[in-house]
Amino acid sequence: MRVQVFKIWDRVRSSFWFLPTVMAGGAMVLAFATVALDEPVTDWLTLHWGWNFTGGAEGASALLATIAGSMITIAGVVFSMTLVALSLTSSQLGPRLLRNFMRDTTTQTVLGTFVATFLYCLLVLRTIRRADEIAFVPHLSVSLGVLLAVVSVGVLIYFIHHVSVSIQANEIVARVGTELIEGIEHLFPENIGQGAPQIPTEPPDAGFLDTFEKEARPIGSAKDGYLQFVDGEALMALATQEDVVIRLERRPGHYVVATLPLVLVWPGNKVTDQLVALVNAAFALGNQRRSGQDFEFEVNQLVEIAIRALSPGVNDPFTAMTCVDHLGSALCRLAQRDMPSPYRHDTEEHLRIITPVFTFSDITDAAFNQIRQYGGSSVAVTIRLLETIAVVAGSVHRPEYRAALLRHARMIDRGAAKGLPEAEDRRAVEECSQAVVQLCSEAAGSGR
């Protein structure tokens, strides 16, 4: 149940309607409150401070009507500018980046400001009564409406600047790179050598694993879709309560087909219809991949920007190199972290969950393979890949990490030897590749 709530909240955060709706609701409450307090506050200010509010019903009505009409017009302009930015981003950088723009709280706040000001003025306008009735002009509320209009003008100016900055390729790449680093901080919290696990993380004996393979019973997915979130705490509590071991067959980001195995449960004779329902409730599926638990998704976003920039129709190696720089920044942080163990134990140190996990080699493959393949004809991108690998190699602490980096450096070197027609270009790539090999060898010799 909790994972479904998290999925809904993530969807709400990625929508244009939620924050403007909240702000519009706040404007309605503010309008009713200011109108209700208008007469006593006005009397108090007149009595104690000598402030006299002037202006008749006709003037207040015209003023509020002008503000309301202007705000709804500007809201339409802002919405049009947002759609143009989304269209440019989708066509040039990839449709999967649209979610990043939709999650931009600045755009949502701007839309909410204009809609809220419009509703506030509209609701205050209906309370004004002419002289042929019992005359009432909410001077304080009208003054607040003017103040909101002034604030809205400032918001509009800021929004124009924000859109101009946010559609720049470097700004988009930096934003995705920041989200990638935040994902590393969330999913890989411990640096190598810092702290110690409180429960065992070593693999179980081979006999148990053989028994598990023979006797475990699969639980199929209830529907198709991309696995977006997994409620690990709910699965741990369920496995402890039922005294079973659960092995996840899919990780966040994988596409799941209905009825095919989602998890394996041992012992298999403890699988019941209720357990099947509870297990499926711990998994959130959707029509698209989402960041959060899907670490590879953020990597793929940077890779997608890079290979689109390298396409013949765009031919922008500088954007591709910027993506490589941010991938290198993330890998430097990842190289200083321990990869999580696939084995999860309960408080009594009993194995309860086995999960598929990332390895450093998997992540470097996701980061470098496609850029290397599509950028093989670009000398600048090829050299930047090798330079980035050299930078990451300076941060590694494990031999298997160095082996993964060396493998990519050699693949880049071999690809350049076959794909670059100019001998000087091949020589430059070879020198960079040899520098990576030497750096990794020196790190291995020093015991890092």
* Closest CA relative to residue 239, chosen from 251, 250, 249, 247: 247
pLDDT category at 131 given cuts 50, 70, 90 is low
β-pairing, 245-248 vs 351-354, is parallel
pLDDT grade for 435, boundaries at 50, 70 and 90: confident
pLDDT digits (tens, 9 = 90+) for 292-327: 788 888 899 999 999 999 888 788 899 999 999 999
pLDDT for 89: 76
Residues 6+ apart with CB under 8 A from 137: 55, 56, 57, 60, 128, 129
Confidence of residue 113 (pLDDT cuts 50, 70, 90): very high
Structure tokens belonging to residue 87: 């269209």
Q: Is the pLDDT of residue 397 over 50?
A: yes
Q: Are strands 245-248 and 261-266 parallel, antiparallel or unpaired?
A: antiparallel
> Pick from 186, 176, 262, 264: which is nearest to 225 by CA?
262
Cα-Cα-Cα-Cα dihedral sign, residues 8, 13, 14, 17: positive
Does 46 score more than 70 pLDDT? no
Range in 138-152, 238-252, 334-348 with the lowest mean pLDDT? 334-348
Residue 377 confidence class, pLDDT cut points 50, 70, 90: confident
Torsion-angle region of residue 2: left (phi > 0), alpha (psi -120 to 50) or beta? alpha
Question: How much is the mean pLDDT over the chain?
Answer: 84
State the pLDDT at residue 371.
93
H helix runs in 244-316, sequence order? 273-281, 295-309
Q: Which two tokens stand for residue 200?
A: 């065992």
Tokens 């935040």 locate to 182
Q: What is the pLDDT of residue 51?
A: 57
Q: In this predicted structure, what is the pLDDT of residue 165?
A: 86
Question: Does residue 199 carry a pLDDT above 50?
Answer: no
Asked if the bond preceding 267 is cis, omega within 30° of 0, the reply is yes
φ/ψ of 265, rounded to 5, equals: -120, 130
Q: Please tell me the distance from the alpha carbon of residue 398 to that of residue 448, in angstroms, as a whole number.
A: 7
Q: pLDDT-based confidence at 202, cuts 50/70/90?
A: low
pLDDT, one tens digit per residue, over 263-273 is 999 988 888 88
Name 413's Cβ contacts closer than 8 Å, sequence gap at least 6: 386, 429, 430, 433
Distance CA 217, CA 240 (A): 17
Q: What are phi and psi of 232, to 5 degrees?
A: -65, -35
